[in-house]
């Protein structure tokens, strides 16, 4: 029952945030739309920011599940990285596009985007560390610090979220369908072991 009520609040909040925007949705709106009292919602969530983070985490669960699947595939680290980059770009695009006015907020408020990303960044870094460690172990990648590289790759991918979703790199002659290949090639060129 507890999980059901919490999940109901998250789904109702997601729907209201998408329709009205985060700024225009109150905790009371969420409680009322959930057919619960304000006291009940505060039992589960201390603030609107906390429920917003729960919405983001819920929305990104599918992304993390997909990325975990890619990391566990019986293939080369290079192929895993290629699939990881493509899946991440597409899933983030789907998440932002599916959520109406969350999309506008995503593009407008850098702090809100950073807070939302912090919910999943640690998970993404851990997954990338597994791919990179496998590549170092197999001799395919030559990098001095796996964690630092995973952090940099995660941030580079996050930096491409908005241009990818908006398809704004076309003004430079870069088609959306080429971003995945170009980014993966750039990453792999930096990671690969060099023949002396």
pLDDT one-digit tens code per residue, 130-182: 999 999 999 999 998 999 999 999 999 988 888 888 888 999 999 888 898 89
47: burial class by Cβ within 10 Å (0-12, 13-18, 19+)? exposed
Here the tokens at position 130 are 């597994």
- Read off the pTM: 0.79
Separation of alpha carbons 88 and 187, rounded Å: 15
pLDDT tens-digit readout, 34-70: 998 889 999 999 998 899 888 888 888 888 999 999 9
Domains and CATH numbers, the chain: 1-46 (1.10.10.60), 48-191 (1.10.357.10)
Distance CA 87, CA 70 (A): 9
């Amino acid at each position: 029952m507890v999980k059901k009520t919490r999940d109901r609040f998250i789904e109702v909040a997601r729907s209201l945030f998408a329709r009205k925007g985060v700024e225009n949705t109150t905790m009371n709106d969420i409680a009322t739309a959930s057919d619960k009292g304000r006291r009940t919602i505060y039992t589960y969530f201390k603030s609107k920011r906390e429920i917003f983070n729960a919405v983001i985490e819920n929305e990104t669960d599918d992304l993390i599940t997909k990325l975990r699947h890619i990391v566990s595939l019986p293939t080369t680290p290079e192929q895993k990285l290629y699939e990881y980059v493509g899946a991440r770009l597409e899933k983030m695009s789907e998440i932002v596009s599916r959520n109406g006015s969350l999309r506008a907020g995503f593009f407008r408020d850098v702090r809100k985007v950073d807070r939302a990303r912090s919910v999943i960044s640690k998970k993404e870094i851990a997954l990338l560390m597994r791919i990179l460690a496998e590549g170092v172990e197999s001799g395919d990648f030559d990098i001095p610090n796996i964690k630092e590289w995973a952090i940099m790759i995660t941030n580079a991918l996050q930096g491409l979220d908005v241009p990818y979703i908006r398809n704004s790199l076309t003004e430079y002659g870069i088609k959306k369908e080429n971003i995945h290949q170009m980014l993966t090639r750039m990453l792999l060129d930096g990671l690969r072991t060099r023949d002396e």
